[in-house]
Amino acid sequence: FIAFIYLTRPAWILLYHSSSPPCSTSTDTGIDYNPKQMAIREKVFNTIISCFKRHGAETIDTPVFELKETLTGKYGEDSKLIYDLKDQGGELLSLRYDLTVPFARYLAMNKITNIKRYHIAKVYRRDNPAMTRGRYREFYQCDFDIAGQYDAMIPDAECLKIVYEILHELDLGDFRIKVNDRRILDGMFAVCGVPDDKFRTICSTVDKLDKMSWEDVKKEMVNEKGLSEQAADQIGEYVSMQGGMDLAEHLLQDQKMSQSKQACAGLSDIKLLFSYLQLFQVTDKVVFDLSLARGLDYYTGVIYEAVLTQAGVASVTTEAQNGAPGSTEESVSVGSVAGGGRYDGLVGMFDPKGRKVPCVGVSIGIERIFSIMEQKVSAEKVRTTEVQVMVASAQKNLLEERLKLTAELWNAGIKAEVMYKKNPKLLSQLQHCEESGIPLVAILGEQELKDGVVKLRVVATREEVSHTVDIHTAPHLRTI
């Protein structure tokens, strides 16, 4: 009987998807999630964790709050979004803003020089919530990072491969992964005439190009940041470029960019990165995009961001895949779903002797992915439990036999359920199976007990099969 349940499980496990669409409840402090939403979230988490483990990562955890000084000065203009906790006569504390800075602090405090780790936990930001865009004040981050001194671009390429695998497995729709390098940006700013003390603030403005038009970005640079119009126009020429390895080669020969050693070092690494990405077979979704900035202050090298595009819109043009310099195609972004980069100097900020540990990593935008997945399955039914079989009775006064059989199923590792009534109606038990998506029902009746059998019904097809079992010698049930 138990063997039959195990053997037939692949055939019926996908028979059911559940009922009403997911719906969350917004409170003043956060979001409540119902069982249907949690079932979707658990599936996404399992896919991501499976990918991280496939790439050899181990996991850690860190406190939900950090010393305020630990987080201060690490996030650029976004530092204003950090939640500070009220001083109660002790140390000044803040809720963690991301998982990267706590990870760097963890490495420094524990004197760890190499690790490949993933960390999935909640972070907090004083942001304006936008539920439809997966933007909240409390939300999960899923981070994968490689710390250690390794040859250039090999760990970086693996991080991009991980993003590719996760987005492909989740089947969210068309996507592209944009890459750039902080050294290229700084070199570009320098040759365009941006003063050194304005590099970070201009970088934060360029980072808004995915939300604002170039005209608005330029206006902010000139009117608010005090940049000359000529410098802004030169930046505009570069940030319109997209491509691949050939674009990097083209820029290495560019009259202005070739004057910057920083930019040339970044461009050489981009070329090397694309050569590894070709070996990993992911270049069809990756584009070298000079407009990608990522405003966080701690990035020192390669940066990347994955965005979903609307159905039917090519994620990367054929020319961009082949690396043609300056090739572009208008694609409609529906939001960033992953981002990351190299941050070689962050660990040194927490080490008493300033010892650096090179790091590169990626953060999966899990909340936005949840929002997209919920929209995708809103018209479908989603199962919220994993019960494999319902133990039911066809007549009265069979509670003892039902409980015995249920216990043996649990002992055998089978997910089983029984109604909490002494004499439930058979129709009610069968309806519960249909409503909950339980695929099998084991039916006990007076005749079945006399014959020493259990009637097993497939709920979806109503097909029934009888299996020999002696309920009164239930301890031997798992050997049948």
Given a contact cutoff of 8 angstroms between Cβ atoms, the answer to whether 308 and 173 are in contact is yes
Largest CA distance in the chain: 94
Cα 250 from Cα 320, distance rounded (Å): 13
Residue 44, phi then psi, degrees to nearest 5: -65, -45
Nearest to 44 by CA among 362, 368, 407, 466: 368
Cα 413 from Cα 386, distance rounded (Å): 12
**Residue 468 CB partners (closer than 8 Å, separation 6+):** 1, 452, 453, 480
Structure tokens belonging to residue 233: 């126009």
> Residue 18, SS3?
coil
H or E segment at 267?
Answer: helix 261-279
Pairing relation of β-strands 359-364 and 138-147? Answer: antiparallel
H or E segment at 411?
Answer: helix 399-411
Given a contact cutoff of 8 angstroms between Cβ atoms, the answer to whether 350 and 109 are in contact is yes
Q: Which residues carry a binding-site annotation?
A: 98-100, 125, 141, 145, 294, 298-299
Q: Which residues carry a binding-site annotation for L-histidine?
A: 98-100, 125, 141, 145, 294, 298-299
> Residue 207, SS3?
helix
Pairing relation of β-strands 58-59 and 115-124? Answer: parallel
Given a contact cutoff of 8 angstroms between Cβ atoms, the answer to whether 358 and 342 are in contact is yes
